[in-house]
Amino acid sequence: MSFSRESKEEILQTEIEDDTCAIAFLSGLFHSCGEIQKVGNKISIKIVSDVEKLFDYVKKIIKKLYGNDISPEISENYNISKNTIYEISFDVEKFKNLLLDTGVIDFDENGMVFKFNIDKNLILEDEAKRAFIKGVYIGASTSSIKLSKEASQSCGSGYHMEFSSQSYEFLNEFSHILAEYSIIGKIFERRNSYVLYIKDASTIQDILALVGANNSVLELSNEIVTRELRNKVNRQVNCINANINKTVEASMKQIDAINTIENTVGLESLPEDLQEVAVLRLANPEESLDELLKLSTIKLTRSGLAHRFRKLIKIAGTLEE
């Protein structure tokens, strides 16, 4: 199960007791994943989601608010990317009170109209506002976050969460609601829809905490630590490998120079101090300068030993010329 689906199902484990919050939650759902359907003279509004548990949750809320007289139609409709998509259908005439209460429809001199903007009267209180955000999160959010099951297993880089909608007006108003909780995202147009996206891990954690997905907050925190640790280890390994390569390259260059001298004028032609380091390097071709100093009886500093090798390389270069 994806991280996004897990967080949504976690939210649905907690019932909404307050009626105002329940209405706000349903309003968030209708605005974020609602679709208008017209078959003949019958008009319905559908909630479309791949979270199966959502529909029992919604039915329970409707039963609590409006009694047993009305019940929405639930169907398993189609599959997308191996995910089953479910629909819950609300006939406009049958659910008129519900749709009015959630700010989805209204009436004017021309009759019934559909409302795409958010009814601010539904979210005056903080708890109602949070319930509305929960509804939108379940209805419109997606995430590319993948959790590492093992510390050594890489599951991608970066963190991305987005809310998509056909209505720019709704998404823009929703972004302002999130901004009240210091959650800032950016909106852009993608094909025929709009997307509010967030790519900051700490901001995503704030969203999860806001909607009550506390276990998901902890899982994401662990993922952040795991990735940081893995990246630190990788940097250290890369640094070690780079140092090893640097040491090997320097040693090969020194050995080539010593061999050039030996094959032309012989090592005995060198001053005694240079002979000593030449023999030391030939006997220990893979060791670093620090290790050579430990192996030798020559009283030299690291820079002094490096200076002698530079002299040997210079002499070899002169002989080659």
Mean pLDDT of 90-107: 87
Q: Does some domain include residue 236? A: no
Tell me the pLDDT band of 76, cut-offs 50, 70 and 90. low
Which residue has 């032609």 as its token pair?
269
125/31 same-domain check? yes
**Residue 263 structural domain:** 245-320
Same domain, 81 and 195: yes
Res 236: pLDDT: 85
297's tokens: 């009886």
The total of structural domains in the chain comes to 2
* Phi, psi at 200, each rounded to 5°: -105, 125
Domain end point (choices 212, 236, 271)? 212
Please determine, for residue 208, whether its predicted confidence score (pLDDT) is greater than 90. yes
Is pLDDT of 79 > 70?
no
Same structural domain, 37 and 183: yes
Q: Do 34 and 129 form a contact (C-beta atoms < 8 A)? A: no
Task: Give whole-number Cα distances, 258 to 4, 134, 299, in Å.
Answer: 63, 73, 21
**In this structure, are 196 and 267 located in the same domain?**
no
Structure tokens given for 267: 């090592």
- Asked whether residue 161 falls in the same domain as residue 83, the answer is yes
Tell me if residue 265 falls in helix, strand or coil: coil
Residues 118-175: tens digit of each pLDDT:
999 999 999 999 999 999 999 999 888 877 764 444 555 578 899 999 889 999 999 9
**pLDDT above 80 (res 75):** no
Residue 232, in any domain of the structure:
no
Token duo for residue 90? 């609300």
Among 192, 212, 232, the domain-final residue is: 212
Residue whose structure tokens are 């105002």? 20
* Residue 181 and residue 268 in one domain: no
pLDDT in tens, 29-45: 999 988 887 777 778 88
**E strand or H helix that includes residue 316:** helix 302-320
Residue 83 maps to a domain = yes
Q: Report yes or no on 255 lying in a domain.
A: yes
Average per-residue pLDDT in the chain?
Answer: 85
Within-domain flag for 230: no
Shared-domain flag, residues 41 and 93:
yes
Question: How far is 134 from 177, CA to CA, in rounded Å?
Answer: 12
Using the 3D structure, point to which of 165, 192, 212 is the last residue of a domain.
212
Above 80 in pLDDT, residue 58? Answer: yes
Q: Would you say residue 231 lies in a domain?
A: no
Say yes or no: 186 and 260 in one domain. Answer: no
Are residues 132 and 177 part of one domain? yes
Can you tell me which residue has the tokens 């880089």?
157
What are 43's two structure tokens?
């008009």
Query: Is residue 308 included in any domain, yes or no?
Result: yes
Pairwise CA distance, residues 163 & 172, whole Å? 11
The torsion of the CA quartet 8, 9, 13, 18, rounded to 10 degrees, works out to 30
Amino acid in the structure at residue 76:
E
Question: Is there a domain that residue 229 lies in?
Answer: no
DSSP annotation string for 228-249: HHHHHHHHHHHHHHHHHHHHHH
Q: Where are the beta strands (DSSP E) in 96-246?
A: 105-108, 111-114, 141-143, 161-165, 186-190, 193-198
Stretch 172-189: mean pLDDT? 94
pTM: 0.72
* Together in a domain, 10 and 153: yes
Same domain, 10 and 102: yes
- Cβ proximity of 36 and 43 under 8 Å: yes
Q: How far apart are CA 137 and CA 11, in angstroms?
A: 10
Give the separation between CA 235 and CA 299, rounded to whole angstroms. 35
- DSSP state letter for 113: E
Q: Residue 70's domain is classified under what CATH number?
A: 3.10.28.10
What percentage of the chain carries pLDDT values higher than 70? 92
Amino acid identity, position 109 = E
Rounded CA separation 182/190 (Å)? 25
Do 171 and 274 belong together in one domain? no
